[in-house]
Amino acid sequence: MASRPPATSGSSANANAASSSTANANPSSSKTSTASSQQPQISLLGTLPIHLLPSLLRRIESALLTLPPTLLCERETVLSRHDDETSAVRETGDNAWASVVKARRGVKLRVRETAIPSRSSIECTLHLPLPSLPERQYPRASVRPSYTVQVLSDSPLAQELPSDPFATSDGGGVDPTALDTDPVNGWKSFVSSIGWRPHFSFLRHGLTYALNENLTRVSSTATTNPFNPAQGTKHSLNVYRIFTPDPTGYTDDWVPLDPEGATVVVELVATVGAQLDQSHFNPYCAPAELPGQSGGLDANSTIESAIEFADGVARALRGLVDLRREAYD
């Protein structure tokens, strides 16, 4: 007797979007991400010299209707499997293992420790971005399934974060060790128990803008049901510099990724189903009267609409920064 085949996780991105609509939506929380979610993520990436940063910020504020920017201070640790080194000897020497080698390089579990100044805490999440879907399917932007799990408790933020993240070249006055939540929640022991270990870490420090797709201060996903708010696409424009531990190993300082600290990264990220109804939590958005809405994923929140919006943002910033699909994943 033929049995039903098991469900696969490699379905279309629309299925991922549908599954994200069933994620927890607690109106008493001010977070825009759920405790555990599987969502399609669209991204564009670009860089510009730091001397053009003031012009870029003025262009964002004039050409894109955004909410006030918030500080972006995030330490990310990329993990590797315990058996990566020993397995590489066999896998790289046998052509039959080529697909396994490619999968190992493309799938990296990450731990993100993000400072939340409004709550004076550090949020620790496990993040698994899968490799981008083929360029022939989505040539204009990187589209990938993304898994985020928050299983670790928040830690207190002991350091006062500077108001200007671009004032200095030494990490913006942030001590990256202050973002290490392992002494509080023990995430290194947890990831070790599931077969992973820290590989390298880096710090993102800059500003993040919450873009409004409908160019209005009224929530685009407002619903009259307070217990089941709607979920739409969360658009974020991140402007930051990257810092890493001193590669020479002579000091414990964190230094810019580029030698002079003169490169600014501009990243546009759209996550389908990651934005809860803004009128519930956002003081800048007024609730709209939309009778008949029952919550769930907003009908207009699709990968195609997110790519169109990302194209519009890229055109608005053209001339200062060229936002493109990531060349290498």
pLDDT tens digits, one per residue of 169-211: 666 667 888 888 888 888 999 899 988 999 999 999 999 998 8
Q: Judge whether 213 lies within some domain.
A: yes
Q: What does the alpha-carbon distance between residue 240 and residue 71 come to, in Å, rounded to a whole number?
A: 10
Name the more confident of 56 and 156.
56
pLDDT at 34: 41
User: Please, what's the b/e burial string for 93-112 (b: 16 or more CB within 10 A of its CB; e: otherwise)?
Assistant: eeeebeeeeeebeeebbbbb
pLDDT at 88: 64
Which parts of 82-240 fold into alpha helices (H)? 84-91, 98-106, 182-185, 187-193
Q: Is residue 79 over pLDDT 70?
A: yes
- Least-confidence region, from 50-59, 140-149, 252-261: 252-261
- Least-confidence region, from 23-27, 114-118, 153-157, 220-224: 23-27
Q: What does the alpha-carbon distance between residue 22 and residue 10 come to, in Å, rounded to a whole number?
A: 18
Q: Is residue 56 over pLDDT 50?
A: yes
Q: Judge whether 329 lies within some domain.
A: no
pLDDT range class, residue 11, cuts 50, 70, 90? very low
Q: Judge whether 327 lies within some domain.
A: no
Q: Are strands 296-297 and 230-245 parallel, antiparallel or unpaired?
A: parallel
CB 64 within 8 A of CB 209: yes
Q: What does the alpha-carbon distance between residue 263 and residue 241 come to, in Å, rounded to a whole number?
A: 7
Q: Judge whether 32 lies within some domain.
A: no
pLDDT at 221: 52
Q: How many domains does the chain have?
A: 1
pLDDT per residue over 18-42, tens digit each?
444 443 434 333 343 345 567 788 9
pLDDT at 174: 79
Q: What does the alpha-carbon distance between residue 292 and residue 295 come to, in Å, rounded to a whole number?
A: 9
Tokens of 35: 């405790």
Q: Is residue 168 over pLDDT 60?
A: yes
Mean pLDDT, the chain, whole residue set: 75
Q: Distance from CA of residue 157 to its chain's centroid? A: 20
Q: Is residue 278 over pLDDT 60?
A: no
Mean pLDDT confidence for 30-56: 78
Mean pLDDT confidence for 38-65: 89
Q: Judge whether 3 lies within some domain.
A: no
Q: Other C-beta atoms within 10 Å of 119: how many? A: 13
Residue whose token pair is 């008493």 = 28
Q: Judge whether 20 lies within some domain.
A: no
CATH value at residue 253? 2.40.320.10
Q: Is residue 8 over pLDDT 80?
A: no
pTM score: 0.74
pLDDT at 259: 73
- Determine the straight-line distance between the first and last CA of the chain, rounded to whole angstroms: 43
pLDDT at 2: 43
Q: Judge whether 322 lies within some domain.
A: no
Q: Judge whether 175 lies within some domain.
A: yes
Tell me the residue range of the domain where 42 lies: 38-317
